[in-house]
Amino acid sequence: MYRSVGRTDLAGTGAWEKMVESVRRLYSSLPDAAIVYPGHGQTTDIGSEKIQNPKISQESVPRK
């Protein structure tokens, strides 16, 4: 989702930790200019999501 993430609070929807791991992997492997086509909302790019996604921005997600 644009400036958000999928849900993990419903049965069978996964774990928050796995989602964070997946997004971090994308953040580190894709260039900031890479266009993202989320399931909901407008297109965006990795660089913008890193900075502006309040659910999982690099600043808001604790590092291991």
Of the chain, the percentage scoring pLDDT greater than 70 comes to 84
**What are the residue boundaries of the structural domains of the chain, listed by start?**
1-64
Higher pLDDT, 35 or 8: 35
pLDDT, residue 34, reads 95
- The Cα 33–Cα 46 span in angstroms is 6
Q: Are 8 and 16 in contact (CB under 8 A)?
A: yes
Give the model confidence (pLDDT) of 23-52 as tens digits. Answer: 888 888 999 999 999 888 899 998 888 888
Looking at residue 1, what is its pLDDT? 60
The residues, any chain, with a CB within 8 Å of residue 39's CB and separated by 6 or more, are 1, 6
**The two structure tokens encoding residue 31:** 């260039």
